[in-house]
Amino acid sequence: MTTTTDRTPGDQPGLRHFLADDDLTWSEQREVLELAAALKADPYGRQPLAGPASVAVIFDKPTLRTQASFTAGIAALGGYPMLVDGRLAQIGIRESVADTARVLGRMTAAIVWRTYAQSALEEMAAYSGVPVVNALTDAYHPCQILADLLTVAEHTGGFSPQGPALAGRTFAYVGDGANNMAHSYLLGGALAGMHVRIGAPDGYQPDPAVVKRAAALAAGTGGSVTIVEEATAAVTGAEVVATDTWVSMGQEEEKDEREAPFRPYQVDDALLAGAEPGAVVLHCLPAYRGKEITEDVLEGPASRVWDEAENRLHVQKAILTWLLDR
Protein backbone atom coordinates (compact mmCIF):
# COMPACT_ATOMS: atom_id res chain seq x y z
CA MET A 1 0.00 0.00 0.00
CA THR A 2 1.33 3.44 -0.89
CA THR A 3 1.48 5.77 2.10
CA THR A 4 1.55 9.52 2.28
CA THR A 5 5.23 9.34 3.16
CA ASP A 6 6.17 7.59 -0.08
CA ARG A 7 8.04 9.90 -2.38
CA THR A 8 6.80 9.81 -5.94
CA PRO A 9 7.37 12.10 -8.91
CA GLY A 10 4.03 13.71 -8.19
CA ASP A 11 5.30 14.74 -4.75
CA GLN A 12 8.34 16.54 -6.14
CA PRO A 13 7.69 19.23 -8.72
CA GLY A 14 10.51 19.50 -11.19
CA LEU A 15 11.70 15.92 -10.81
CA ARG A 16 13.05 14.73 -14.17
CA HIS A 17 14.45 11.46 -15.45
CA PHE A 18 16.61 10.54 -18.43
CA LEU A 19 15.16 7.29 -19.71
CA ALA A 20 15.34 7.89 -23.47
CA ASP A 21 17.00 10.44 -25.71
CA ASP A 22 13.83 12.40 -26.30
CA ASP A 23 13.21 12.96 -22.60
CA LEU A 24 15.11 16.17 -23.35
CA THR A 25 13.97 18.90 -25.72
CA TRP A 26 16.49 20.01 -28.31
CA SER A 27 17.32 23.08 -26.24
CA GLU A 28 17.76 20.97 -23.09
CA GLN A 29 19.98 18.53 -24.98
CA ARG A 30 22.13 21.46 -26.09
CA GLU A 31 22.23 22.76 -22.50
CA VAL A 32 23.45 19.35 -21.24
CA LEU A 33 26.06 19.07 -23.99
CA GLU A 34 27.40 22.55 -23.31
CA LEU A 35 27.54 21.72 -19.60
CA ALA A 36 29.46 18.54 -20.46
CA ALA A 37 31.99 20.56 -22.45
CA ALA A 38 32.36 22.95 -19.50
CA LEU A 39 32.89 20.06 -17.08
CA LYS A 40 35.47 18.55 -19.41
CA ALA A 41 37.38 21.84 -19.26
CA ASP A 42 36.88 22.21 -15.51
CA PRO A 43 36.34 18.70 -14.07
CA TYR A 44 35.50 19.83 -10.53
CA GLY A 45 33.60 22.99 -11.46
CA ARG A 46 30.28 21.62 -10.19
CA GLN A 47 29.73 19.62 -6.98
CA PRO A 48 25.98 18.88 -6.73
CA LEU A 49 26.64 15.69 -4.75
CA ALA A 50 29.00 17.25 -2.20
CA GLY A 51 28.31 15.87 1.24
CA PRO A 52 28.80 13.31 -0.17
CA ALA A 53 25.41 12.16 -1.38
CA SER A 54 25.08 8.64 -2.79
CA VAL A 55 23.99 7.60 -6.26
CA ALA A 56 22.83 4.00 -6.73
CA VAL A 57 24.51 2.53 -9.82
CA ILE A 58 22.91 -0.80 -10.69
CA PHE A 59 24.28 -3.27 -13.24
CA ASP A 60 22.26 -6.16 -14.58
CA LYS A 61 24.44 -6.37 -17.71
CA PRO A 62 28.22 -6.62 -18.18
CA THR A 63 29.97 -3.26 -18.03
CA LEU A 64 33.34 -1.55 -18.25
CA ARG A 65 32.95 2.01 -19.59
CA THR A 66 29.59 2.54 -17.91
CA GLN A 67 30.86 1.52 -14.48
CA ALA A 68 34.15 3.37 -14.82
CA SER A 69 32.58 6.58 -16.13
CA PHE A 70 29.71 6.74 -13.67
CA THR A 71 31.80 5.90 -10.59
CA ALA A 72 34.54 8.35 -11.53
CA GLY A 73 31.99 10.98 -12.51
CA ILE A 74 29.92 10.70 -9.33
CA ALA A 75 33.10 11.02 -7.26
CA ALA A 76 34.14 14.11 -9.25
CA LEU A 77 30.73 15.65 -8.52
CA GLY A 78 31.44 15.24 -4.80
CA GLY A 79 29.31 12.13 -4.34
CA TYR A 80 29.60 8.44 -3.55
CA PRO A 81 28.74 5.75 -6.13
CA MET A 82 26.75 2.96 -4.44
CA LEU A 83 27.45 0.01 -6.77
CA VAL A 84 24.65 -2.57 -6.83
CA ASP A 85 25.22 -5.99 -8.41
CA GLY A 86 22.00 -6.80 -10.22
CA ARG A 87 22.65 -10.55 -9.95
CA LEU A 88 22.60 -10.28 -6.17
CA ALA A 89 19.84 -7.70 -5.89
CA GLN A 90 17.55 -9.65 -8.29
CA ILE A 91 15.38 -6.61 -8.90
CA GLY A 92 11.98 -7.66 -10.16
CA ILE A 93 12.56 -11.23 -8.96
CA ARG A 94 13.29 -11.24 -5.25
CA GLU A 95 11.93 -7.73 -4.73
CA SER A 96 9.66 -5.77 -7.01
CA VAL A 97 10.96 -2.88 -9.10
CA ALA A 98 8.55 -0.52 -7.35
CA ASP A 99 9.68 -1.54 -3.86
CA THR A 100 13.34 -1.29 -4.87
CA ALA A 101 12.71 2.18 -6.27
CA ARG A 102 11.06 3.33 -3.04
CA VAL A 103 13.94 2.01 -0.92
CA LEU A 104 16.77 3.37 -3.07
CA GLY A 105 14.92 6.65 -3.54
CA ARG A 106 15.03 7.24 0.21
CA MET A 107 18.77 6.56 0.46
CA THR A 108 20.23 8.14 -2.63
CA ALA A 109 20.19 11.33 -4.67
CA ALA A 110 19.74 9.50 -7.98
CA ILE A 111 19.53 6.02 -9.49
CA VAL A 112 21.49 4.83 -12.53
CA TRP A 113 20.41 1.48 -13.99
CA ARG A 114 21.91 -0.66 -16.78
CA THR A 115 19.35 -3.32 -17.46
CA TYR A 116 17.30 -5.16 -20.07
CA ALA A 117 13.69 -3.99 -20.30
CA GLN A 118 12.88 -0.33 -20.86
CA SER A 119 9.56 -0.93 -19.11
CA ALA A 120 11.38 -1.90 -15.90
CA LEU A 121 13.41 1.30 -16.03
CA GLU A 122 10.22 3.30 -16.52
CA GLU A 123 8.67 1.56 -13.50
CA MET A 124 11.74 2.43 -11.43
CA ALA A 125 11.31 6.08 -12.40
CA ALA A 126 7.62 6.03 -11.58
CA TYR A 127 8.32 5.04 -7.96
CA SER A 128 11.80 6.33 -7.18
CA GLY A 129 11.22 9.92 -6.05
CA VAL A 130 14.73 10.75 -7.30
CA PRO A 131 16.10 11.13 -10.85
CA VAL A 132 16.61 7.86 -12.74
CA VAL A 133 19.16 7.62 -15.56
CA ASN A 134 19.20 5.01 -18.32
CA ALA A 135 22.70 3.53 -18.40
CA LEU A 136 21.54 1.19 -21.23
CA THR A 137 18.48 -0.91 -21.90
CA ASP A 138 17.61 -3.17 -24.78
CA ALA A 139 15.72 -0.24 -26.31
CA TYR A 140 17.99 2.81 -25.85
CA HIS A 141 21.48 3.94 -24.86
CA PRO A 142 21.00 7.70 -24.42
CA CYS A 143 24.12 8.44 -22.36
CA GLN A 144 26.27 6.94 -25.12
CA ILE A 145 24.60 9.13 -27.73
CA LEU A 146 25.27 12.27 -25.66
CA ALA A 147 28.94 11.23 -25.57
CA ASP A 148 28.88 10.71 -29.33
CA LEU A 149 27.29 14.10 -29.96
CA LEU A 150 29.91 15.82 -27.81
CA THR A 151 32.61 13.99 -29.76
CA VAL A 152 31.08 15.04 -33.08
CA ALA A 153 31.02 18.66 -31.93
CA GLU A 154 34.67 18.49 -30.86
CA HIS A 155 35.79 17.16 -34.22
CA THR A 156 33.48 18.88 -36.72
CA GLY A 157 33.67 22.53 -35.73
CA GLY A 158 31.84 22.74 -32.41
CA PHE A 159 28.19 23.32 -31.65
CA SER A 160 26.05 25.21 -34.15
CA PRO A 161 25.91 28.98 -33.44
CA GLN A 162 22.26 28.73 -32.47
CA GLY A 163 19.40 26.24 -32.45
CA PRO A 164 19.88 22.47 -32.12
CA ALA A 165 23.39 21.49 -31.04
CA LEU A 166 24.60 19.95 -34.31
CA ALA A 167 22.18 21.39 -36.83
CA GLY A 168 22.88 20.33 -40.40
CA ARG A 169 25.55 17.70 -39.69
CA THR A 170 25.24 14.44 -41.61
CA PHE A 171 25.48 11.26 -39.60
CA ALA A 172 25.48 7.64 -40.82
CA TYR A 173 25.14 4.47 -38.77
CA VAL A 174 25.60 1.08 -40.43
CA GLY A 175 24.94 -2.38 -39.01
CA ASP A 176 22.20 -3.59 -36.71
CA GLY A 177 19.48 -1.00 -37.13
CA ALA A 178 17.19 -2.72 -34.65
CA ASN A 179 19.42 -2.33 -31.61
CA ASN A 180 19.53 0.26 -28.84
CA MET A 181 22.33 2.29 -30.44
CA ALA A 182 20.47 2.74 -33.71
CA HIS A 183 17.32 3.76 -31.88
CA SER A 184 19.15 6.29 -29.75
CA TYR A 185 21.04 7.65 -32.75
CA LEU A 186 17.71 8.23 -34.46
CA LEU A 187 16.19 10.08 -31.52
CA GLY A 188 19.28 11.86 -30.24
CA GLY A 189 20.56 12.75 -33.70
CA ALA A 190 17.21 14.10 -34.84
CA LEU A 191 16.95 16.12 -31.63
CA ALA A 192 20.38 17.62 -32.38
CA GLY A 193 19.19 18.70 -35.83
CA MET A 194 21.34 16.18 -37.69
CA HIS A 195 20.56 14.36 -40.90
CA VAL A 196 20.57 10.79 -39.60
CA ARG A 197 20.91 7.85 -41.96
CA ILE A 198 20.63 4.24 -40.88
CA GLY A 199 21.98 1.54 -43.20
CA ALA A 200 20.80 -1.89 -42.08
CA PRO A 201 19.90 -5.20 -43.73
CA ASP A 202 16.34 -6.30 -44.24
CA GLY A 203 15.04 -7.83 -41.03
CA TYR A 204 17.36 -5.73 -38.86
CA GLN A 205 15.96 -2.26 -39.45
CA PRO A 206 14.78 0.10 -36.70
CA ASP A 207 11.47 -0.14 -34.88
CA PRO A 208 9.00 1.82 -37.06
CA ALA A 209 7.61 3.51 -33.95
CA VAL A 210 11.06 4.89 -33.12
CA VAL A 211 11.56 6.02 -36.71
CA LYS A 212 8.24 7.86 -36.53
CA ARG A 213 9.22 9.57 -33.27
CA ALA A 214 12.59 10.55 -34.73
CA ALA A 215 11.00 11.93 -37.90
CA ALA A 216 8.68 14.07 -35.79
CA LEU A 217 11.66 15.41 -33.84
CA ALA A 218 13.60 16.09 -37.03
CA ALA A 219 10.67 18.05 -38.44
CA GLY A 220 11.04 20.43 -35.53
CA THR A 221 14.83 20.75 -35.58
CA GLY A 222 15.58 20.94 -39.30
CA GLY A 223 17.15 17.50 -39.35
CA SER A 224 16.03 14.42 -41.22
CA VAL A 225 15.81 10.64 -40.87
CA THR A 226 16.58 8.18 -43.65
CA ILE A 227 16.47 4.38 -43.46
CA VAL A 228 18.18 2.41 -46.25
CA GLU A 229 19.42 -1.12 -46.83
CA GLU A 230 22.68 -0.31 -48.64
CA ALA A 231 25.59 0.65 -46.39
CA THR A 232 27.13 2.74 -49.16
CA ALA A 233 23.90 4.73 -49.56
CA ALA A 234 23.95 5.56 -45.85
CA VAL A 235 27.61 6.56 -45.75
CA THR A 236 27.93 8.57 -48.98
CA GLY A 237 28.83 12.15 -48.08
CA ALA A 238 28.43 11.61 -44.34
CA GLU A 239 30.54 13.65 -41.92
CA VAL A 240 30.27 10.98 -39.22
CA VAL A 241 30.23 7.18 -39.68
CA ALA A 242 29.30 4.98 -36.73
CA THR A 243 28.80 1.29 -36.15
CA ASP A 244 28.25 -1.19 -33.32
CA THR A 245 28.62 -4.89 -32.69
CA TRP A 246 26.51 -7.17 -34.85
CA VAL A 247 25.64 -9.29 -31.79
CA SER A 248 24.28 -7.32 -28.83
CA MET A 249 24.16 -8.67 -25.27
CA GLY A 250 21.54 -11.40 -25.03
CA GLN A 251 21.82 -12.30 -28.74
CA GLU A 252 24.86 -14.57 -28.45
CA GLU A 253 22.94 -17.59 -29.77
CA GLU A 254 22.37 -15.68 -33.05
CA LYS A 255 26.08 -15.02 -33.61
CA ASP A 256 26.55 -17.37 -36.57
CA GLU A 257 23.32 -16.50 -38.37
CA ARG A 258 24.10 -12.77 -38.16
CA GLU A 259 27.52 -13.04 -39.79
CA ALA A 260 26.39 -13.24 -43.43
CA PRO A 261 23.74 -10.49 -43.51
CA PHE A 262 25.94 -8.03 -41.65
CA ARG A 263 29.23 -8.64 -43.49
CA PRO A 264 28.49 -5.98 -46.19
CA TYR A 265 28.09 -3.41 -43.40
CA GLN A 266 31.65 -3.67 -42.10
CA VAL A 267 33.24 -0.23 -41.72
CA ASP A 268 36.48 -0.60 -43.69
CA ASP A 269 38.59 1.72 -45.81
CA ALA A 270 36.51 1.05 -48.92
CA LEU A 271 33.23 1.98 -47.25
CA LEU A 272 34.77 4.98 -45.52
CA ALA A 273 36.06 6.26 -48.88
CA GLY A 274 32.49 7.14 -49.78
CA ALA A 275 32.07 9.44 -46.79
CA GLU A 276 32.83 13.16 -46.70
CA PRO A 277 36.61 13.84 -46.80
CA GLY A 278 37.75 14.18 -43.18
CA ALA A 279 34.79 12.19 -41.86
CA VAL A 280 35.19 10.81 -38.36
CA VAL A 281 34.41 7.28 -37.18
CA LEU A 282 32.66 6.33 -33.95
CA HIS A 283 32.13 3.01 -32.17
CA CYS A 284 30.63 2.72 -28.69
CA LEU A 285 32.83 -0.31 -27.81
CA PRO A 286 33.55 -3.08 -27.23
CA ALA A 287 34.74 -3.40 -30.83
CA TYR A 288 35.19 -6.69 -32.64
CA ARG A 289 38.02 -6.07 -35.07
CA GLY A 290 37.47 -7.78 -38.40
CA LYS A 291 33.73 -7.93 -37.82
CA GLU A 292 31.79 -4.65 -37.76
CA ILE A 293 34.99 -2.58 -38.11
CA THR A 294 38.49 -3.26 -39.37
CA GLU A 295 41.64 -2.79 -37.33
CA ASP A 296 42.86 -0.22 -39.87
CA VAL A 297 39.81 2.00 -39.42
CA LEU A 298 39.51 1.58 -35.65
CA GLU A 299 43.14 2.56 -35.16
CA GLY A 300 43.33 4.90 -38.15
CA PRO A 301 43.28 8.70 -38.45
CA ALA A 302 39.48 8.93 -38.81
CA SER A 303 38.81 7.14 -35.54
CA ARG A 304 37.58 9.24 -32.63
CA VAL A 305 36.64 6.17 -30.60
CA TRP A 306 38.86 6.88 -27.60
CA ASP A 307 37.62 10.47 -27.29
CA GLU A 308 34.11 9.08 -27.56
CA ALA A 309 34.80 6.64 -24.69
CA GLU A 310 36.21 9.42 -22.49
CA ASN A 311 33.24 11.64 -23.19
CA ARG A 312 30.94 9.19 -21.42
CA LEU A 313 32.46 10.60 -18.21
CA HIS A 314 31.76 14.22 -19.07
CA VAL A 315 28.23 13.86 -20.42
CA GLN A 316 27.10 11.66 -17.53
CA LYS A 317 28.39 14.21 -15.04
CA ALA A 318 26.46 16.80 -16.99
CA ILE A 319 23.18 14.87 -17.10
CA LEU A 320 23.36 14.07 -13.37
CA THR A 321 24.11 17.73 -12.55
CA TRP A 322 21.33 18.91 -14.84
CA LEU A 323 18.77 16.52 -13.34
CA LEU A 324 19.76 17.35 -9.76
CA ASP A 325 19.40 21.06 -10.50
CA ARG A 326 15.71 20.71 -11.41
Residue partners of 83: CB distance under 8 A and separation at least 6: 57, 59, 67, 71
Query: 138 by DSSP, 3-state: which?
Result: coil
- Quick check: is 284 catalytic? yes
Contacts 24+ apart (CB under 8 A), 13-16: 14/326, 15/129, 15/130, 15/131, 15/326, 16/131, 16/323, 16/326
The DSSP call for residue 81 is: E
- Quick check: is 312 catalytic? yes
Residue of 304, 312, 314, 316 marked catalytic: 312
Half-sphere exposure of 314 (CA within 13 A, CB side): 25
Question: What residues pair up with 82 in beta bridges, in sequence order?
Answer: 56
Residue of 244, 258, 283, 304 marked catalytic: 244
Which of these, 134, 125, 110, 131, lies nearest to 52 by C-alpha position? Answer: 110
Residue of 16, 17, 102, 141 marked catalytic: 141
Residue of 284, 304, 314, 316 marked catalytic: 284
Residue of 21, 65, 143, 144 marked catalytic: 144
- Quick check: is 141 catalytic? yes
What is the residue-wise DSSP string for 22-68? GGS-HHHHHHHHHHHHHHHHSTTS--TTTTTPEEEEEESS--SHHHH
Radius of gyration (Cα) for the chain, nearest Å? 19
- Quick check: is 144 catalytic? yes
Distance from C-alpha of 262 to C-alpha of 247, rounded to nearest angstrom = 10
Which of these, 51, 61, 40, 114, lies nearest to 312 by C-alpha position? Answer: 40
Residue of 114, 155, 169, 304 marked catalytic: 114
Dihedral sign of CA atoms 191, 197, 198, 202 in order: positive
Distance from C-alpha of 118 to C-alpha of 139, rounded to nearest angstrom = 6
- Quick check: is 67 catalytic? no
Known catalytic residues? 114, 141, 144, 244, 284, 312
